[in-house]
Homo-oligomer: A and B are copies of this chain.
Amino acid sequence: MSYNTFGREFRFTTWGESHGPALGATVDGTPPGVPVDEAFIQQFLDRRRPGTSKHTTQRREADQVRILSGVFEGKTTGTPIQLMIENTDQRSKDYGEIATSFRPGHADITYHLKYGIRDYRGGGRSSARETAARVAAGGVAQAVLAHLLPDLRITGYMVQMGALHLDRSRFDPRAIPDNPFFLPDAASVDEWSDYLDGIRKDQNSVGAAIEVLIEGCPPGLGAPVYAKLDTDLAAAMMSINAVKGVEIGEGMAAAALTGTANADEIRIGNDGPMFLSNHAGGILGGISTGQDIVVRFSVKPTSSITTPRQTINQHGAEIDLITKGRHDPCVGIRAVPVAEAMAACVILDHLLMDRAQTGGVRGEIG
């Protein structure tokens, strides 16, 4: 089964373990003739790379991507693109207790129960390190989107970290690249930084919420009823490590609304339908409306913490466990570029699906 494959037309399969020799993504279905090279993909990986601020794991990985196939003379050929990232900082060490213990809140125990065997080094396949491969695949998607939908823009940012919430009245996307939190509010960066320092000093970790804004998406993408655009976005986000909730537009808050409040009324604008609000988050009936698409998701706190927790080990003994090592106090931070990558893959996938079924022809209004 396609357990490790994401997408329908534009498909990628990720492979690799946290402390194996390499990891990567096998990308299939790419349109031919699209300009792309390692430098283009590398910029996305650099945004996700560990060790770039004190707020992320101090593991130092170059995360240098290599294109092994599918690109010739700087352009895609339409054949599979193999993206490989070598692991360079897998510290050789005695894994000792961790090899047979199950961190509470971690996949250790479920991988053991399911497979009877697991690469325990650094979390193996369940490590968030797998998301580097997604970001690389997302880089290919971004290259194709830049070619086919030049007006599209995908922007991820944090809207919550533990007790702190983004003040939306101060939303400024220009601030995002300039702080380690992908926070669209420059004035609050110090507060967020101090807060996370406190969490770390408490030998604790904290959850987060991330929003992805997709601007410039044309109407008509999404294939009801089981390949709806929002269904696929939800699956994309929920597949990211530690994600526990996904929302489109109003999200869970829609439960509290009335029909009159929720209706996104429509007028005629210069370029066709003009919506007066966007409770729907840009998707109706699983198909994009042409408005901004708004996706939000939560990330639970890192389960690897240095405060002791009660757990058991493989031998059936009850133990208290402290997880040493280099762990992000808020894994949600690095989920931002991952979510952008997943969003890019979903949008491209649906663009190609739509080309197949409708040829990209749109129904007319007026």
Contacts and interface: CB of A to CB of B under 8 A. Distances in A.
Nearest to A163: B256
A266 interface: yes
A350 to B, nearest CB: 10
A110 B259 contact: no
A81 B41 CA distance: 23
A254 B110 CA distance: 20
Copy total for this chain: 4
Given A208-B255, A255-B208, A258-B204, A1 B356 contact: yes
Contact of A357 (B5, B31, B102, B125): B31
A185 interface: no
B14 A13 contact: no
Interface in A67-116: 68-70, 72-73, 75-82, 84, 102, 104-107, 109-116
A55 interface: no
Interface stretch (A44-52, A176-184, A186-194, A240-248): A240-248
B266 A15 contact: no
A248 B243 CA distance: 9
Interface stretch (A56-64, A149-157, A223-231): A223-231
Contact of A264 (B31, B75, B104): B104
Given A33-B116, A204-B258, A225-B239, A252 B252 contact: yes
A22 interface: yes
A216 interface: no
A257 to B, nearest CB: 5
B3 A224 contact: yes
Given A29-B3, A69-B22, A244 B238 contact: no
A312 to B, nearest CB: 5
Interface in A8-52: 8-9, 11, 13-17, 20-24, 26, 28-33
A219 interface: yes
B78 A357 contact: yes
A197 to B, nearest CB: 14
Interface string A207-230: 111000000000110111111101
A300 B113 contact: no
B107 A287 contact: yes
A72 B117 contact: yes
A312 B273 contact: yes
B262 A77 contact: no
Contacts of A160: 255-256
B254 A285 contact: no
A305 interface: yes
A178 B312 CA distance: 42
Contacts of A145: none
A286 B114 CA distance: 11
Interface string A113-143: 1111111000011100010000000000000
Given A79-B125, A219-B110, A252-B245, A262 B207 contact: yes
A189 to B, nearest CB: 18
B287 A111 contact: yes
A25 to B, nearest CB: 9
